Structure formats: C-alpha cells, structure tokens
Amino acid sequence: MNEIKGVLATVKYDKEYMDRMITAFAPSPVYCFDQKDEEGIRSVFEKVDVAVLDADLNDLILKAPNLRWIHCNHAGLTKSARPVVFERGIILTGAAGRSAPSLSEHVFFFALAHIYDAVRLFEAQREHNWSRFSRQFAASKGLSSKTIGIIGLGNTGRAVALRAKAFQMRVLGYDRANFAEIPDGVDEFYAKEKGDDISHLLSDSDFLVLSCHLSDETYHMIGKAQLEAMKPSACLINIARGSLVDENALYDALKNNVIARAGSDVFEEEPLPASSPLWDLPNMFITPHATPRVASIQGNALSILIENIGHYRNNEPMKNRLTERDVYTK
C-alpha cells in the first residue's frame, strides 16, 4: 500500500466538499493554500508527496522534492503534462469527465443549429419573411438520418455517443487506445493501437466531433488534407482544444465550401482575437469556451479525486492518468 505523507491542496471547493476531501485523505495531513501563496506553499515542501491543484501545475510546485502524485482539478492538462513530470516518475491525473454531460450537450447545440440552419432562421424571423427559406427548411433531414464520428472516446466522447443514439444516429468512434469492449452507443470502433486511422470518420461522417486530448501527437490533426477528405455537407465540431485544428486551413475550407460548417468552443488563441477572420464566416458557429456548468461540478470532480485516492493507496491504475503521449510542447 502507498502511504501518503502529506497533501498540498490549492483547490477551492465549497466547505462541504473540502471537508469530504480532507476526510478522504485522512489520516494524512492536508495543507491548504491559495496557489498564489508562494510562501505558504514553500513552507510545506518537505512535508508533502501529493498535490491537489486548482489550476495548472507551475514551476514553484514542481520544486517540491518529494512529489509522487499531482492531481489537477480540471480537464485538459496541456500545460501540466510536462516532460519533467514523467521524467521524475510523478503520477499526473485530472478531473476529466466532471463536465461531460454539458460538453456533450454542447455538441448537439452545434449539430441542431446546423441542421436547422439557425442563423438563417433568425434572419428570416427578423425580416418577418419565411418565403425565401421555408422550402429549403422543410426539405432538410433530421439527425436520425445522419452519421456522427467521434474522435476521442473518453468521458465526453462516450457521453456524445449515448446522446447520438438517442437521436438514432449512426455512431463511428476513434481512440488511440484499443478498448477491450466497444463503448456503449458506438456502432463502429477504430483505434490507433489496432493500426486504424481516422479516414473512415472523415469520409463517412456528417458531423465530425473532436473530444480528444491535445498533445504533440494530435496537434493540427485536422488540417487541409483532412478537411478535403470530409463530405462537402459535413460539419466539424470542436469541444476539446483549439490547436487540434489548423485554423488557417479551416478558414479556407469554410470560405470555399469544402465543408458546410464548423462549430467550435475552443481556439488556438483565447479569447479569439477580434481580428480573426473566423468571426465573419457565415458558416462558422463560435462559443466562448464557456459550456454551462453541470449542477454538481464540484461533487463530480471530488468523486474522481476520492476514487483516485483509493487507487493510489492500493497501487491500482489511476483514473484520468496522463502519460508521456500527452506531452504538449508546441
């Protein structure tokens, strides 16, 4: 069994959840500080071997000499998955999955807005005139006739698959890992570990959803060639990280109708600069990296942490553990 010597905590849970976290770590002491309190954090360097962080890992915390496990209380640990973490043998985990229900709903906000052509619907309403739009609207086909391809079958990707089946969609899934069992809701599964690539998803999907990690391996995984391999009627949806997509190539593809539309909650630079040409594309849906929160986000995050406390003490595989393949250095 792994003994926990002490815990540095910079998370900002409400008191109820802080108390539950401290109880879960007991009898190990938990030292709570704001992540900007450098003096306080330095004072416990020699006492802690676990850190539970509210924000990304920074240089100061990495100076703690005895760290064996770092848990970041959010998803998308691009800035925390540093080579030095893995070189030192430190376990790195995150809270991926705490917002999966809302993130998966965000996918269908984009998908339904595309199917219903929400922009032109609003324009017609504003003009008090359906005549130039009603015939085309009536001829459109619903989601039940469509295929959705999901790249990244973690918590959010799996939640998207289940909701897609509720719409009676055909679901294609791709992940770098070859799962022992195909995730629920996925009709066809492809894996990098099996030697598969994303070609089937590109050519067959009416909606291509990105819900995977950003790493050196996935940087600009969607570029000019991939966009040209998609259906002209397809919609690209990115709810993961902006740098999965080459935004210059995306702009060109949308401007020239290589694909029909894109919806993105994330961009390479955030907030998206006012000078970005993506703002003015009529076939681009943009949201401000602000998916509405699930009602129990703190409880969901704490449940992941508590589960991992048990796994760590029992030397079992950790949930949401990152590896060297998740390093991002771009």
Classify each residue of 264-277 as buried b or exposed e, where b means 16 or more C-beta atoms within 10 Å of its C-beta: bbbbbeeebeeebe
Has 128 been annotated as catalytic? no
Which is it for the CA torsion 185, 187, 192, 194, positive or negative?
positive
Which of 203, 200, 263 lies closest to 235, judged by CA? 263
Q: How far is CA 283 from CA 112, 238, 254, 264, 275, in A?
A: 14, 14, 7, 11, 17
Structure tokens at 126: 């504003």
**27 preceded by cis ω (within 30°)?**
yes
- In the set 289, 311, 313, 321, the catalytic residue is 289
88 an active-site residue? Answer: no
Pairing mode of beta strands 7-9, 30-32 = parallel
Tell me the helix, strand and coil percentages in the chain, rounded to 5. 40, 15, 45
**Terminal-to-terminal C-alpha distance of the chain:** 38
Burial class (CB in 10 A: 0-12, 13-18, 19+), 16: exposed
- Are 133 and 139 contacting, i.e. CB atoms less than 8 angstroms apart? no
Catalytic residue among 270, 316, 324, 325: 270
- What is the rounded CA–CA span in Å between residue 306 and residue 320? 13
Instruction: Give the amino acid at 286.
Output: I
Choice among 114, 158, 241, 261 that is catalytic: 241
Determine whether 241 is an active site residue: yes
For 247-293, give the DSSP string.
Answer: HHHHHHHHHTTSSSEEEES--SSSSPPTT-GGGG-TTEEE--S-PPP
List, by residue number, the catalytic residues: 241, 270, 289
